[in-house]
Structure 1
Amino acid sequence: MRVGRALGTAMLPCLLVLTACSGSSKADDPAPPSTSATAAAETGDGQTAAPALDPAHAVEPPGERTGAIAYSDIIVNGSKTLDAATIAKVQRLKGVQDVEAISLAEVPIENQALTVAAVDPATYRNFTMLNSALKDVVWDRVAGGELAIRPALEKKLPIDEDDFLRLGSTDDAPAVHIGALAPLSPQIDAVVNDTWIPTLNMVPDNALLIRTGSTSPITLRTPIEKILSGTKASVQMTDVVAREGLDPDVVQTAVVVGTVADAVGTFRYTVLSGGHIAPDPAWEAAHITTQTVPILGSVTCNKAIFPQLIAALNDVQAQGLADTIHPGEYAGCYYPRFIAGTTSLSNHAFGLALDINAIENQRGTAGRIDRGVVTIFKRWGFTWGGDWRYTDPMHFEMNTLVNPQ
């Protein structure tokens, strides 16, 4: 058994694509010269290795892969760093085969929380699908400072024409070049190396991937929970049975990073049916409230949103645009749920997004929201869903804490 730590990501001149079924790879169109330092070099197995474009986030390439390849059976996720002594106790449990320490965070992007892991590419690769684990170029690119994401997310994220993705909801959020589309381990959407931990304000080593081999993972839940007693870390099964859906018997933990992290804190919840979740009652009591705001009337949202929401709506009134917002078409703010058809948290689950004029502003349309209203909301720290790749013009979400004073 061994314990691995997370390293970092780098930027490379072209995008590597892996599919879960074919095991093939291809390099797409090269990025413009401004993002490409030198030509890529051919490795001995015909794969392409490219130089790091972001030296500040580059680490040594992982080299030759060693060790067994298999998904984790258990994932531990908490809001604080798991110290070496705690990890060692988990590692020594009878039935535990491998333990990998990683850093895990939820990054809000266009009304979804992207689960990002900072990993050691040399060791984390063994916890992914065989097709990914065997491709040296994927992990060379992660080591070089680039981002690897699940292929299914390519069309769902606001990736620019040069294959950069901002990890956050503001214009100045860190931009990372996507170097590979590759199947990752369960419940992880994207990986970088651990040089990105301070850049993304992640908590170092707050999560563990655990493999149990021939031992049933469910038999290890209680022993692991005893070791983690007092940490409030969740212990989630990720074996083939659990991968059909999140475990409803486990309190899930989401550590939100970015500009609205202070408004959310550590978010704990359990999974309900129909895509709904039940937030920790203590979190809900501390963060969610109902207030009366201009134009819309009574709304239930995160406490942090109200000062700038009220300021924005006051400005809408002052500009003579109040009649362009229809209170009868207000579709809610705090709505504890996943994004439809996924297990990604919506910003509505945090009470930091609201939908207005819903009838005339459906997803995938340009919408009929008055653009003067849009401008006002943006000035008060909101992102508008109408700007997204797959538009959601009824949707406004807080991306920055703004003091109305």
Structure 2
Amino acid sequence: MSILEELHWRGAVNQQTDEDGLKELIAEKEIALYCGVDPTGDSMHIGHLIPFMILKRFQLAGHKPVILIGGATGSIGDPSGRTSERTLQTMEQINQNAEKLKVQMKKLFNAGEGEAIRLVNNHDWLKDLSLIDFLREYGKEFNINTMLAKDVVASRLDSGISFTEFTYQIIQSIDFLHLYQQEDVQLQIGGADQWGNITAGLDLIRKKEGPQAKAFGLTIPLLLKADGTKFGKSAEGGVWLDPEKTSPYEFYQFWLNQDDRDVIKYLKYFTFLSQAEIEALEEKVATEPHKREAQRTLAQEMTRFVHSQAALDEAELISQALFSGNIQELTADQIEQGFQHVPSSTAPREERNLVEFLVDVTKIEPSRRQAREDIKNGAIRIKGTQIKDVDHIVSAADSFDDRFIIVKKGKKKYFLVQLEG
């Protein structure tokens, strides 16, 4: 199966500028191709990841990926997918973000481990472009009527678009031309909303290099969940690649909790499992959905890919401990990951009677009478251990590394107390 055939099987192709031409080119040689991301934040989220998974597939097929960090384009703002102007960031913040994105990219593409990857920043070649040169060399090549007809611009005409964001497609076109000339890049990959920018770049290449220039564009479909909503959010918000923003445990749980209707699509999009492996999992979804084997495989593959095998092992350890209730062996750091979104409070590091602790500190019990009753009935666990003694004193021995105390009431209700002072 060729790389393009594989992409079609995975449902990862939205539009192509010349499929037959690209197919012939790939059959002839290994090509250089690129995808870009603007450093408007200090981490990518899983929505950003989609086109880069395609870039990774080309890399594994022997082609040469170039990743563009948009230090220049990020400083003016991409109007794609927006209804209002983006707030401009300082160049200092953009540069800090760019460095963090470079670290993430190197990890995803195994930079330094034998798989060649080229990281570039368009600020390097755009920072010295004068206004006069911009207008004479490039502005002359763009027809305003054509630019207005691009979806990304047309969708903003009613609400308004600044000249700064209007010029974004020109700047991105210059990027494609520069990479075509300097890096032999012949294919740009992007999300569905980048189609207008990609085709503008191809037009510029042909105007500057001649109509026979071999350059191509390919976009990825907008990824929607089975309920019609946009993919990429959890109940707590965005799912980030930065473990400080979304812990590996939360990341793992996000994939583990995917709908049966979506999981095979995500396996095709996001994993490097073979067609036979995915079809076997699809059969499991149809015949044994309660086992959630496809979801578990998806969670494992993605957590290992984005974080590491060690992070996956830890995420599964936390998941198993929470499922079984045997949390005693977890570390304080693992508790912090696994209990990030349960009800919580803070309390001083001092000994306190359990009844008082349940009512006054955690408020997990409405009254002392109810607290005593639940303790006697065995409904209360501290650090995973059942406590039936109403005179039990909650102390440092009940904590995780003198940082957290975990209370469990009944089968599922957890509460976290963070110790301070």
Output the TM-score relative to the length of structure 1: 0.27
Q: Tell which has more relative contact order, 1 or 2 (C-alpha 8 A, sep 6+).
A: 1
Output the TM-score relative to the length of structure 2: 0.26
Decide which structure has the larger Cα Rg and report it. Answer: 2
The structure with more strand, counted as a fraction of residues: 1
